[in-house]
Amino acid sequence: MRYSILAVAVLALSGVSAAQAQTTVIERGGPDRVVVDRPSSESKTVERRETSDGCRTKTVTKENEVGDRKSVTKESCD
């Protein structure tokens, strides 16, 4: 009878240690990556002007293969 009580105690302790050995792994994925393909047939024109009062103007015009055009003008004065 002593051996059966001892065997039950050993089995109970091994079950407790097995329960304590469980590990939880949490995996977190990084943010999705965004890849932007730049059109190779885009034309770009840069125009610079300077006036007599010290102001400078720079205009950049871009046009893609579809014909869409965008212009950005920057002016700076001293």
Q: pLDDT tens, 21-48?
A: 677 877 777 777 777 776 567 788 999 9
> How many domains does the chain fold into?
1
Residue 25 lies in a domain: no
CB 42 within 8 A of CB 52: no
Q: How many alpha carbons lie under 13 Å from residue 57 in its C-beta half-sphere?
A: 10
Residue 54 lies in a domain: yes
Parent domain of 65? 41-78
E-state strands within 1-78? 43-50, 55-63, 69-77
How many beta carbons lie within 10 A of that of residue 17, not counting itself?
Answer: 8
Mean pLDDT of the region 52-63: 90
Residue 21 lies in a domain: no
Residue 9 lies in a domain: no
C-alpha–C-alpha distance, residues 59 and 73, integer Å: 4
Q: Is the pTM of this model over 0.95?
A: no
